[in-house]
Copies of this chain bind each other. A is one copy, B any other.
């Protein structure tokens, strides 16, 4: 049979990548739980009816919709928000406000040329059932703590609100049907120059005078009452220098109804890693209950790719194993296993070379390939004297160690 590949846009996560993914998820989970969010998981497959008619035709072209062996119309999870709405509707006994986090893959038949994956992990944190700015402030605090827990130091959380944007449009005298198209251009000010954005607005038929007024209104914009309270609460939660009011932030999506937030890592320059906001009407539109909601998504694949590419966690061990116990020969195999078993009992992650009939050279090579920090060798002499040879694979140094002292030597 031919060697078969993974589908385009789908990836194996080999051990080296998994170590980073697991560490990132462990850190994020710890933050979510510190804030009292509980985990929810939903199925990969849903009735097609749950998924379709929610995000427009373009989105539906990217959905994996098909007939299952029982001839039901089904589809793969497209995001975590629709299943969130469906799960709340199906489980009325869930305490409200309902605070949940969810870390699961979603599926979209995207153009892979753009560096997008077709199976990608979403990591969503939401509060459903509170219309208070306190809920928005908690989400902002979660984002702040997540970035900090992941080890990013130079980042900003840009905050704005739908009301601020609308008020800018009103003051600038833009006709209401054009608000969204103007806002979409304004939103690009973090990537384009003012001149470029002005040119774009011009092509959209916005008058020179209106454009001038828009930028004037932006320069004078202030948070509205709701956002002011949100920011005050976020500051009480300890978020100070990282919080920035940015009246040009819009985050494309039309379903936000209040505060909007996005986090941007400035050093290294990698753009936005999280985005979210308040979406009070959406859960109902998606087939869920009529509950106000606010939340954020964290780009887990992006986070992990960036950490790996930039080697942000240089000290993260590449394997969980602390030591490889080699097998000198069949006669000494049982002695080696007893030592391995003793180390494991003491909590030392201990790998045994899984063969009793392999050259020592190959066993050492294996430890090297897997980046296992230490190797134990128990030869005939060592066995007689109740000692072992302990080799530090990084320094190459080898020393004779009494078995009783082994645990101490390996616990650091």
Q: Which A residues form the contact surface with B (CB < 8 A)?
A: 1-7, 10-15, 18-19, 21-22, 33-36, 38-47, 49-50, 61-64, 66-70, 72, 74, 76, 86-87, 89-91, 94-97, 99-100, 105, 107, 109, 118-119, 127, 130-135, 137-138, 141, 145, 229, 232-233, 236-238, 287, 319-321, 324, 327, 333-335, 337-338, 340-341, 344-345, 347, 349-357, 366, 369-370, 372
Contact = CB atoms under 8 A, between A and B. Distances in A.
B6 A46 contact: yes
Given A18-B39, A97-B354, A349 B69 contact: no
A321 B99 CA distance: 12
Given A62-B69, A324-B36, A46 B7 contact: yes
A341 B236 contact: yes
Contacts of A131: 355
A161 B183 CA distance: 70
Contact of A15 (B62, B64, B100, B372): B100
B40 A15 contact: yes
B15 A344 contact: no
A36 B237 contact: no
A11 B321 CA distance: 35
Contacts of A370: 38, 95
15 contacts: A6-B42, A7-B74, A12-B91, A34-B347, A36-B349, A44-B76, A44-B105, A45-B64, A64-B69, A69-B109, A97-B355, A134-B327, A134-B337, A137-B337, A236-B335
A100 B18 CA distance: 11
A248 to B, nearest CB: 28
A70 B355 CA distance: 45
A225 to B, nearest CB: 12
Contacts of A349: 33-36
Given A13-B40, A14-B40, A233-B333, A49 B354 contact: no
Contacts of A356: 132-134, 229, 233
A147 B304 CA distance: 32
B345 A238 contact: yes
B355 A135 contact: yes
Nearest to A238: B341
Q: What are the 7 closest A-B residue pairs judged by CB atoms, nearest first? A: A36-B351, A15-B38, A66-B66, A33-B320, A10-B43, A236-B337, A132-B355
